[in-house]
Amino acid sequence: MKLRYYLSPNFLEKESIIKEIKIFLKKNKSFIKRKKILDVGCGSKPYAHLFREYECTYEGIDFKGYSLNPSFELEEPDYFFSKEYASNFKINNLKEKSFDIIVSFQVLEHHANPENFFKESKRLLKKGGLIIITFPFIWPLHEEPYDYQRLTHYKIKRIADSLKLKILYIRKRGGFFSVIDQLLNNAIMECRLPPIIKKFLYLIIFLPLQYLVVVIEKLTPYNKNKKTFLGYFIALKKY
């Protein structure tokens, strides 16, 4: 990761995603190793390096005007969605049952019909394959006007049941203190102050507070029943 990753006002969100990916990969390394992966809505593939540590083939697909994540090394997508994808969500340029794992990080909130994402992912997966997703729960509007919803694990379970997918793993990313700190960071970035003043306040007050929250979160046992958190990490299996 680049220095700007550690200085980012969104550090807690990014770090929570990386933390959960690492935990899941370590627990399931025997299955993950050397698998073929497709990242749907991959952007500049910020998390590809985590899977390549397990000798995976990591490919990505996105729109031609894909988002860049400058906190990480930048990569281009391997494939691009067709012009019709925005309306039918069909990835027609890829064969069915051609991937072991489908991943999609921080994208599901931008799907006008998230059920179609899971249908298409199931089509592309081999039998026994996995779908791994992260998405926000408490987070500001972003990439407008294509920010459609904040989903819960209850909604994902309904979709999974309808498509005969099995939920293997649910983790709630970040806790109460992460949410409060992240909202404070977002507030200072949105307030109408000169940029130099905002940067000064962030570096002197909010950045140290952010790393205090990191320590607090590490010392706090994980609570699967928490109600206030940044987002989800969920894994599902195709049978």
pLDDT of residue 47: 97
Domains, the chain, with CATH or none: 3-174+224-238 (3.40.50.150)
pLDDT of residue 46: 97
Residues in the chain predicted with pLDDT less than 50, given as ranges, are none
pLDDT of residue 64: 92
Spatial CB neighbours of 209, under 8 Å, sequence gap ≥ 6: 181, 184
- Beta strand residue intervals within the chain, DSSP E: 36-40, 57-62, 79-80, 99-105, 125-136, 165-173, 231-238
At 198-215, the pLDDT tens digits run 999 999 999 999 999 999
Three-state secondary-structure class, residue 89: coil
pLDDT of residue 92: 83
pLDDT of residue 1: 74
